[in-house]
Chains A and B, each alone.
Chain A
Amino acid sequence: SAVISQKPSRDICQRGTSLTIQCQVDSQVTMMFWYRQQPGQSLTLIATANQGSEATYESGFVIDKFPISRPNLTFSTLTVSNMSPEDSSIYLCSAKWQGGGYTFGSGTRLTVV
């Protein structure tokens, strides 16, 4: 299975600023995903990151707030823009690998103050 390195693992940010989260996969994967896990909640899909094209966003999430890059088959970034305390969550990336499984990064715990 693929292994994902995600960073930063945690950050405390001021409201109004932006944070970019990076995920590096140790092998080429066709599909990568970004999830949000709010405190005590399950995971909610933000978007599917497509290589060479714009990300596909789920209902309730927009590109201006969560811009995503996917420059190649092993790397993706998610930016949380113009942050407010409501954005405090764990953000996780995920990759679908050829064996049919999904691997997750270790998550980024974001606190907005």
Chain B
Amino acid sequence: GNSVTQMEGPVTLSEEAFLTINCTYTATGYPSLFWYVQYPGEGLQLLLKATKADDKGSNKGFEATYRKETTSFHLEKGSVQVSDSAVYFCALSDPVGGGFKTIFGAGTRLFVKA
């Protein structure tokens, strides 16, 4: 079945450090891939998405590239800020193999220190 695996947290970085959160997936069809962010005490917000191989999603300085050959969708940001402290969820939606529901990874908590 479909699944998402992302690196365990927490990840602790200093402000302006480079961020990578790894995400790999398994899917039977051709999924769309997403990164969601959850700030403390809030619901989920869509951060970025990619719908086909080699697409790059980007938003607020974050980027992720859909790599079909490695079944990965790693999240990167060149210079993190304290305000980026949150939990990040990698997710997929596979209409062919999994219907329209979204499958989430376990989440990675990011702490950014000033």
- Mark A residues whose CB is within 8 Å of B: 1, 6, 31, 33, 41-43, 45, 48, 90, 92, 94, 96, 100-107
A100 touches B100 (CB 8 A): no
Given contacts A105-B43, A106-B42, contact A100 B32 (CB under 8 A): yes
Number of interface residues of B (CB under 8 A): 20
In the complex, what residue of chain A is closest to B103 when comparing beta carbons?
A45
Question: CA–CA, A107 to B34, complex, Å?
Answer: 19
Report whether over half of chain A's contact residues are helix, strand or loop; otherwise say mixed. strand
A101 touches B101 (CB 8 A): no
Query: How many whole Å from B35's CB to the nearest CB in chain A?
Result: 12
Q: Please name all residues of chain A whose beta carbon is closer than 8 Å to the beta carbon of B51 when the two chains form the complex.
A: 100
In the complex, what residue of chain A is closest to B32 when comparing beta carbons?
A100
A48 touches B101 (CB 8 A): yes
Question: CA–CA, A48 to B102, complex, Å?
Answer: 11
A104 touches B89 (CB 8 A): no
Q: Please name all residues of chain A whose beta carbon is closer than 8 Å to the beta carbon of B100 when the two chains form the complex.
A: 31, 48, 96
Report whether over half of chain B's contact residues are helix, strand or loop; otherwise say mixed. strand
Given contacts A33-B101, A48-B101, A94-B102, contact A102 B43 (CB under 8 A): no
Contact of A43 among B45, B89, B99 (CB under 8 A): B89
Query: How many whole Å from A49's CB to the nearest CB in chain B?
Result: 11
Give the tally of cross-chain contacts (CB within 8 A): 46
In the complex, what residue of chain A is closest to B41 when comparing beta carbons?
A109
Is B106 interfacial (CB-CB < 8 Å)?
yes
Contact of A92 among B32, B44, B49, B105 (CB under 8 A): B44
Q: Please name all residues of chain A whose beta carbon is closer than 8 Å to the beta carbon of B107 when the two chains form the complex.
A: 41-42
Given contacts A100-B51, A102-B34, contact A43 B104 (CB under 8 A): yes
Query: How many whole Å from A45's CB to the nearest CB in chain B?
Result: 5
A42 touches B105 (CB 8 A): yes
Which 7 residue pairs are nearest across A and B when measured between Cβ atoms? A107-B43, A106-B43, A104-B44, A43-B104, A42-B106, A42-B104, A42-B107
B106 touches A104 (CB 8 A): no
Is B93 interfacial (CB-CB < 8 Å)?
yes
Contact of B43 among A1, A6, A101 (CB under 8 A): A6
